[in-house]
Structure 1
Amino acid sequence: MLAAALALACAVLGWTCHRLAQRLRQEVEAQAARDAVRDQKFKELARCLEAYLAGSVRMGEELHELRRVVAPLPDKLSQLEQRDPSNLSFSQAARLVGLGASVDDLTQSCGLTKAEAELVSKLHQARKDHD
């Protein structure tokens, strides 16, 4: 009888071990699936971050180029204003741009060429953006 009870206990223990091993395999498989999803999300986030960084670098390069182009504008405007001291058209144009005048308005009212009017307008915009 003791042997039968011991055999029954061993059978129950064996069955329990088998069930626990099955559950462990299932949990390992589920964890592997979760790990795969996590790894895929990491890869996707890494690609997005790389794209954002590349965009930031390009934007910085373009900003640097714009600064290089805009930096000499105040000196150029001063040179243009000093070219003919009796003509106040550049000062007048600068005031009109500050009031919202367009390039066409400047060419008509101040006698500036289109290029000069665009220069005055861009200079004003650069100063406005800088402030």
Structure 2
Amino acid sequence: MELDLVTLILGGTVLALATGLGLLLRSHRRLAVDCQRLEGELERVGQDLAGLCKSSVGAGDHLMQLEYRVRRLTERQDQAELRGAGDRPYSHAIQRVQQGASAETLIEECGLTRGEAELILMLHGGLAEASPDIAPRRRA
């Protein structure tokens, strides 16, 4: 009877071990499948990240080019404004002289000095309209 009891205990233990081993193998297979799936997802995420890095570098380069162009355009606009602001009173004064304005009118309307107004009159409106004291002297 003792032998039957030992055999029964050993048989139960072997059965329990076999069942446990079966459960472990099943769990191992499930974990292996999950691991392969996660490795695939990790690979895709890595590829997505690499693509994002490449595109961000391209976007950064494009942004730098745009900033450079904006800076150049701003500089050109500033230069044009400076040139335009410097020429504007003279351009307007020349127009006014061609319309028959006097030196006094140029001084009042364009904010020119007397010398500037008389010079513009001499260059663009004829000598007769400039003040008599700056008219050129004739040699005898």
Higher relative contact order (CA 8 A, sep 6+): 1
Task: State yes or no: 1:87 paired with 2:95.
Answer: yes
Counterpart in the other structure of 2:14: 7
Counterpart in the other structure of 1:48: 55
Counting only pairs closer than 5 Å after superposition, residues 61-80 of structure 1 correspond to structure 2 as: 61-80=68-87
Task: State yes or no: 1:39 paired with 2:51.
Answer: no
Task: State yes or no: 1:16 paired with 2:20.
Answer: no
Counting only pairs closer than 5 Å after superposition, residues 112-127 of structure 1 correspond to structure 2 as: none
Gaps of 5+ in 1: 89-131
Counterpart in the other structure of 2:35: 28
Gaps of 5+ in 2: 1-7, 97-140
> Displacement of 1:67 after TM fit?
1.1
After TM superposition, the score normalised by the length of structure 2 is: 0.58
**Rg: which structure is higher?**
2
**Deviant stretches of 4+, over 6 Å:** none
Aligned residues: 88
Using the aligned pairs only, state the percent identity.
Answer: 10
Counting only pairs closer than 5 Å after superposition, residues 98-117 of structure 1 correspond to structure 2 as: none
Cα distance in 1 for partners of 2:17, 2:85 equals 101
> Displacement of 1:20 after TM fit?
1.2
After TM superposition, the score normalised by the length of structure 1 is: 0.61
Cα distance in 2 for partners of 1:25, 1:78 equals 78
Once structures 1 and 2 are overlaid, which stretch shifts more, 35-44 or 19-28?
Answer: 19-28
Deviations 1:23-59 (A, max 9, x none): 1111111110010011111111111211111111000
Cα distance in 2 for partners of 1:3, 1:86 equals 121
Cα distance in 1 for partners of 2:25, 2:85 equals 91
Once structures 1 and 2 are overlaid, which stretch shifts more, 66-75 or 78-87?
Answer: 78-87
Counterpart in the other structure of 1:104: none
